[in-house]
Amino acid sequence: MSDNVLEIKNLVKDFPGVRALDDVSFNIKRNTIHCLVGENGAGKSTLIKILTGAFLRTAGTVYLNGKEYVANNPKEAKQKGISTLFQELNVVDELTVEENLTLGIEDTTFGFLKKSKKIIKILDALYSIEPSIGPKQRVSRLSVAKKQIVEIAKAVASESDIIIMDEPTAAISESEIKRLFKIIKGLKEKNVTVIYISHRLDEIFEIGDYVTVMRDGKHIETKPVSDVKDRAELIKLMIGKTVIESYTKKEEQPTEIILEAHNINNSKLQNISFNLKKGEIIGFYGLVGAGKTELARAIFGADKYQGEIIYKSRPLEKSPDKTIKRGISLVPEERRSQGIFSILTIRNNIPVMNMKRISDRIFINRQKEMKAASEFIKKLNIVTHSCEKEVSKLSGGNQQKVV
């Protein structure tokens, strides 16, 4: 049997006016953790969607275990040996762990569920990975990390050759990340290959055996992680130029206070106070659930709070529309449900925070709308053939640029 579990040869994916994947070729070795990195819009999402059956390729060939591989949908991909752990977890909160694990593959006798060998195998897989998760627990009571483990157990029990993990640490704490990494490393002992996608480059060095870098839809390089000198080398491969990561302080320190928060309290926040000076960048850091998102939503007026927030010497009203009029915007944590209108076009989405700019009194001026959209497509390098494209059909990175 070949050392390669997956071989990708001259893969091309075209959308109208855009080549998302351009002659991509590389191999993934069996029983390894193979990391996939690249900037937003590099082609990672498109490649994964082809492997999982969400997209059909335009040209090229994929071999799984030495045989040509084509999946017409995600179910078919899973049946052939490729499972995926998406950022948006595919679990049903209202059901138990066992019901989630067996959803769609239930065995019945006269209409009653029965615990077949297949079900026992899935529960054994879960127990071997994480004994603390009980099969009768309701999924809504599990942490994000434990929900991920439920999905991993289902993939392992289905005897997947490859499990693709898309940003699995994006919403979990440091201690949960360590536990997840231990589980991922253990998958190799079960003859499972992991394709690991992350923007956190330190994770690549901690967990990866190999790394593939993509840029602008092209394969740039695949090499052992041990052969990558440092983060700087990886960043240079990703963006095509050297980036100086050190911070240079400004010679003149800002003095004018532009935003003040005094004793902000709500169900999540306790006595938060800070000042932000004009020209400064302030960062809020903490584990998942620490209150970072809630603080941003309070400033924006989306969440109620006690206390006072002052912007340019005047109190902010607790209303998003009035906050926007004052010149404050929010890039939300969850773009799909809070940041975009996925069924509308790029043209419809981009100016939505400033309708006055594109309106003639009560009517939208289509020319102004087109001009505003085209301006930001060019400024942010949004990869699209037209501003009339539905936002839902953009890659994740390009959706974020629209936000």
Spatial separation of the C-alpha atoms in residues 55 and 77, rounded to whole Å: 11
CATH code that applies to domain 251-330: 3.40.50.300
Q: Is the Cα torsion angle 304, 307, 312, 314 positive or negative in sign?
A: positive
CATH code that applies to domain 4-239: 3.40.50.300
Q: What are phi and psi of 101, to 5 degrees?
A: -65, -30
What does each C-alpha distance from 185 to 31, 123, 178, 227, 281 come to in angstroms? 10, 20, 11, 20, 37
Q: Cα torsion at 130, 131, 132, 136 (round to 10°)?
A: 100
Q: Where are the domains of the chain?
A: 4-239, 251-330, 337-402
Residues 85, 163: contact at Cβ < 8 Å? Answer: yes
Instruction: State the pLDDT at residue 61.
Output: 95
Spatial separation of the C-alpha atoms in residues 145 and 289, rounded to whole Å: 13
Instruction: State the pLDDT at residue 383.
Output: 77
What does each C-alpha distance from 352 to 302, 344, 403 come to in angstroms? 17, 11, 10
* pLDDT tens for each residue of 260-307: 999 999 988 899 999 999 988 899 887 667 888 889 999 998 889 999
Domains 4-239 and 251-330 agree in fold: yes
Instruction: State the pLDDT at residue 385.
Output: 80
Characterize the bridge pairing of strands 4-15 and 18-29.
antiparallel
Instruction: State the pLDDT at residue 182.
Output: 87
Spatial separation of the C-alpha atoms in residues 355 and 72, rounded to whole Å: 41
Beta bridge partners of 19: 14
Low-confidence ranges of the chain (pLDDT < 50): none
Cα–chain center distance at 165: 10
* pLDDT tens for each residue of 137-195: 888 888 777 888 888 887 777 778 999 988 888 767 777 788 888 888 888 888 889 99
pTM comes to: 0.73
